[in-house]
């Protein structure tokens, strides 16, 4: 069975600084996708970035990058130049054949607070 672990319940970062949110995963499937979502207090889950299990390069999307270390089964999210609007919950998730219907399997999330 797939499992996603996010060990940081809460993180603080100062505006304009970079922050890394940790995610480790466990799966026996060779093919899978890793996703990061942002959830503001409004509740909507906003897709940020994707990394495939066979991708050789780390994914990047604007200020977001994914530090993918396959051998260590980690997929950390790096947010550069933090902004006040980045304050939200962040969820790491995995999609693969081990889940019924290829559903997303989420971690418990990390709450990020960006301070001025």
Partner 1 sequence: ETGVTQSPTHLIKTRGQQVTLRCSSQSGHNTVSWYQQALGQGPQFIFQYYREEENGRGNFPPRFSGLQFPNYSSELNVNALELDDSALYLCASSLAGTGIYNSPLHFGNGTRLTVT
Numbers of helices and strands, H then E, in the chain? 0, 12
Least separation in angstroms between CB 73 and partner 1: 16
Q: For partner 1, give the closer residue by CB, 33 or 73.
A: 33
Interaction site with partner 1 (CB under 8 A): 4, 31-33, 35, 37, 42-47, 50, 52-53, 91, 93, 95-96, 99-109
Name which of 17 and 61 has its Cβ closer to partner 1.
Answer: 61
**Residue 87 to residue 4: CA distance in whole angstroms:** 22
Shortest CB 82 distance to partner 1, Å:
22
- Of 18 and 113, the one with the shorter C-beta distance to partner 1 is 113
Q: Is the dihedral of CA 8, 109, 79, 77 positive or negative?
A: positive
* CA separation for the pair 63, 7 (Å, rounded): 22
Nearer to partner 1, 32 or 68 (CB): 32
Q: How far is the CB of 63 from partner 1 (least distance, A)?
A: 18
Question: In the chain, what is the straight-line distance between the N-terminal and C-terminal CA atoms, in Å?
Answer: 41
């Amino acid at each position: 069975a797939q499992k996603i672990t996010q060990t940081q319940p809460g993180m603080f970062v100062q505006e304009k600084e970079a922050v890394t949110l940790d995610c480790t995963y466990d799966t026996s499937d060779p093919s899978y996708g890793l996703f990061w979502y942002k959830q503001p207090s409004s509740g909507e889950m906003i897709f940020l970035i994707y990394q495939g299990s066979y991708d050789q390069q780390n994914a990047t999307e604007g200020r977001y990058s994914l530090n993918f270390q396959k051998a260590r089964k980690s997929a950390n999210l790096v947010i550069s130049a933090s902004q006040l609007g980045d304050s939200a919950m962040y969820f790491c998730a995995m999609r693969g054949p081990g889940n019924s219907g290829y559903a997303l399997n989420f971690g418990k999330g990390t709450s990020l607070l960006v301070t001025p």
